Amino acid sequence: MVKACIFDLDGVIVDTAKYHYLAWKKLADELGINFTEKDNERLKGVSRKQSLEIILELGNLKLDEKEKERLAEKKNNWYVEYISRMEKSEILPGVEEFVNKLRENNIKIAIASASKNTRTILERLGLEKKFDVIIDGTMIDKAKPNPEIFLKAAECLKVQPGECIVFEDAVAGIESAKRAGMKVIGVGDPSILIDADAVIQNFEGLDLHFICTL
Ligand code: B16
Ligand code: MG
């Protein structure tokens, strides 16, 4: 029985993935590294630190820890600038209606995002009070695909992993949720999200019966 839905943030609630891409692209250009939208798929759902490692690897560049920290901070400053201009209209189609439907049916809801900017984004979109629990990148030790983030969300919601449905747009996030023992609905391209139990394009018209039959 489904008692809770756990949402990833970037790429599920709002398309911040495009702002992550723009900020990483700016950094990669500065470093003379060729970084494409296809490469960006590998960054979805993984931590800031790990994302930088992937970009440096693409450019065959080895830097010391201090320099890496400086670059990650530089990227984050650009990213924060982009998201500070985000509008409520950028919430992805059907999200608010679906979340309201869950609340009306007493299904608990949580956010489980690797992003350390989670609260800033939710506040900017006026969504921070909609969720029973918010687990973000500041509260976990092990990044997705480790299951820690989703297990922590279930624990805080006081439900069992098997009673949760996760919504994820990233391959790393799907693996994380599966390892936590949860059902996963991918949001995006079915040819990329092949390990999800089902894939939707967005939340428009999504009904509870469908998620309960997974
Ligand atoms: P930040 P999610 C993830 O959020 C993003 O998908 C990923 O691209 C990003 O690197 C990560 O958050 C860390 O974000 O730099 O803001 O701390 O998809 O788990 O909601
Ligand atoms: Mg995501």
Say if residues 94 and 201 touch (Cβ distance below 8 Å): no
Q: Which helix (H) or strand (E) holds 149?
A: helix 148-157
Q: Three-class SS of residue 214?
A: coil
Phi, psi for residue 127 in degrees, rounded to 5: -110, -5
> What is d(CA 168, CA 147) in angstroms, rounded to the nearest whole number?
13
For ligand 1, say whether the CB of 51 is within 6 Å of any of its atoms.
yes
For ligand 1, say whether the CB of 108 is within 6 Å of any of its atoms.
no
Alpha-carbon distance values, 49 to 28, 46, 120, 177, 181 (Å): 14, 8, 19, 21, 26
Say if residues 206 and 98 touch (Cβ distance below 8 Å): yes
Q: In terms of DSSP H, where are the helices of 4-138?
A: 17-31, 37-41, 48-58, 65-83, 95-104, 118-124
> What is d(CA 95, CA 208) in angstroms, rounded to the nearest whole number?
13
For ligand 1, say whether the CB of 148 is within 6 Å of any of its atoms.
no
Per-residue model confidence as pLDDT tens for the chain (214 residues): 899 999 999 999 999 989 999 999 999 999 999 999 999 989 988 899 999 999 999 999 999 999 999 999 999 999 999 999 999 999 999 999 999 999 999 999 999 999 999 999 999 999 999 999 999 999 999 999 999 999 999 999 999 999 999 999 999 999 999 999 999 999 999 999 999 999 999 999 898 999 988 8
Active site residues: 8, 10
Ligand 1 mutation pick, 7, 8, 10, 52, max ligand atoms within 8 A of CB? 10
Q: Which atom of ligand 1 is nearest to the CA of 118?
A: 16
